[in-house]
Each structure stands twice: as C-alpha cells, then as structure tokens.
Amino acid sequence: MFAIIGILVVIGAIVGGYLMEHGNLMVLLQPAELIIIGGAAVGTVLIGNPLSTIVLLLKGLAGIFKPSAFSKDFYLEHIKLLYEIFQSSRKYGMVKLEQDIEEPEKSPLFTKYPKFAKNHHALHFVCDTLRMYVSGGVSAMELDQMMELDMEVHHAGVRAPVNALSTVADALPGLGIVAAVLGVVITMGSIGGPPEEVGHKVAAALVGTFLGILLCYGFLGPMASSMAKINETESQFYHFLRVGLAAFIRGAAPILAVEFARRAIPSAVRPTFKEMEDTCKKSGKESPPAEKSAA
C-alpha cells in the first residue's frame, strides 16, 4: 500500500511542479525514448542474471505492493507452533516427534498451520534441524552452526534479485544518456530544418536523460531498497526460529524455549510475555491426547 502511495506522490510532485512552471506534458510523452531505455534495461537484466534470479526478481517486485506478512499475529501463531512441537516432544517422546518431522505434510501438528506448511524453506529448516536432533550424536553447538549455515545460504539467494535490480537502477542514468545522444544524432541530421522541428527533437533527446534519472532515483532504486527490507524481515523470522530451536535443543523447557524465541522478534511486532503465555496456554488446551495423536 505504501509503495503505491509513494509512486503516486513521486508522479504527482513531478507532474504538478512541471505544470506549475507552465510545462507542456505532451513534450514528455516520448515513446521512442522509453523503448530505448526500458528495452536496454530489460536486456541488461537478461544478460547479467540466470532465469532463477529473474523469477525471484519478478516475485520480489510483486511483494513490494503487498502488506508485510510478519505481523504480531504471525509471530504469535509461530510461537504457538514451536511450543506445540516442543511440548509434543516432551509429552510423547522422540518417536512421535520423528513421525511428525519425517512426513510433515501428513502430520496433524504441522497441517494445523497452513501458512507455515506452505513456506517450504522454513518447514525444511525446522524439520531438518529436529531430524538431526532426534538422530543423536550431534551437539547443540553443531546444530546451531548448521542452522546458521542454512540461513546464510538462503539469504545469499534472496539477495541476488535485489542486487540485480540495484544494478539496473544504477545503469538507468547512463541508458538515459544513450537515449539522449541518439536524440542529438537525429537532431544534427535535421539542423537545417525549421526551428520548431529542431527544438522538438532537442526536447525529445533531453527527455531521455530525464527518464533515466527519474526511473533510477524515483522508482527502481527505492524498489530495490524495499525488497532488501522485506528480505531483512524474513531473515529476522528465521533468526526467531533458530533461537527457539537452539534453546530447546540445549534442554530448555518448552515455555522457556519460546521465550528465548520471543526475545528475538523485532520490537515493532514483538508480542508481550502475557500474550505469549496466553497463546501457549490455549495451545496446551487444544493439544490432543497421546492415543488420538498416535491414531
């Protein structure tokens, strides 16, 4: 929502100021300049990035216009999930936990949380860590290092589309100059013509520079920054999972482990201890008995 508002503010401020100076909007409508700059920008993306990065880039651009999923309610839901996992392990033993993590898509423990189940990387992050914990022979420090390595690899992958968009944004002023130079070449070819025609071609050439700078600093640059911030909120979520899992693996009680995880939540969306406690109490009341779980 704020991204759309920001785009409208940028366009409104530029067009409004231009009209206040009695500018002619029709002069800014130069499809050829836009094709040169836009086509060259798309080409640079295709030259410098594999298909997987381009797909992630398109998804990232779409995500800019969606509200953040990482709200207080989102974290409370995942606190409840972690608590149920830890509590189930304590109540029913490692055999039951192993059944849940081996086939999470069939486990009633995970199917209760469809948002988490659809997040395949987060699901595998939790299940693979618990799988190593159940197998034994791996220390808490080694498991924590595994989680850290997993997070680093994932974050490197999501940074790739941000870097690609930043590269394109940085290239746009230069591409605008290319469009302007081509416009000047065309202008020089008609230098002996009517002054109105020459003036129109000069204006069209200057619009190329204008569009390149505007697209860089007014649109694609801020979009790349927004994508980076979205990735940062996602990394904070994985840090939350890591802290909770690490505390449980070290032997902390379920409620203490989720309190460790709660402290890792960013302060802007962090639930209070009372909210966490109430959520865990409701989770305990909803938990099925061992016989039903086994069934």
Amino acid 286: pLDDT: 57
Mean pLDDT across 250-273: 94
212-260, pLDDT tens digit by residue? 999 999 999 999 999 999 999 999 999 999 999 999 999 999 999 999 9
- Lowest mean pLDDT, pick from 19-33, 230-244, 280-294: 280-294
Amino acid 285: pLDDT: 58
Q: What percent of the chain has pLDDT above 90?
A: 58
State both tokens at 111.
């199917």
Across the chain, mean pLDDT equals 88
Mean pLDDT across 116-131: 91
| pLDDT at residue 59 greater than cutoff 80 | yes
Note the pTM of the prediction, 2 decimals: 0.84
C-alpha to C-alpha distance for 12 and 24, rounded to whole angstroms: 15
C-alpha to C-alpha distance for 163 and 171, rounded to whole angstroms: 12
For residue 244, the Cα-to-chain-centroid distance in whole angstroms is: 22
231 near 159, Cβ under 8 Å?
yes
36 near 185, Cβ under 8 Å?
no
Kindly give, in sequence order, each residue whose CB lies less than 8 Å from that of residue 202, ignoring residues fewer than 6 positions away.
183, 184, 187
How does residue 198 score in pLDDT terms, banded at 50, 70 and 90? confident
| pLDDT at residue 52 greater than cutoff 70 | yes
Kindly give, in sequence order, each residue whose CB lies less than 8 Å from that of residue 235, ignoring residues fewer than 6 positions away.
151, 155
Amino acid 293: pLDDT: 38
| pLDDT at residue 290 greater than cutoff 50 | no
34-46, pLDDT tens digit by residue? 899 999 999 999 9
87-109, pLDDT tens digit by residue? 988 888 877 888 888 888 888 88
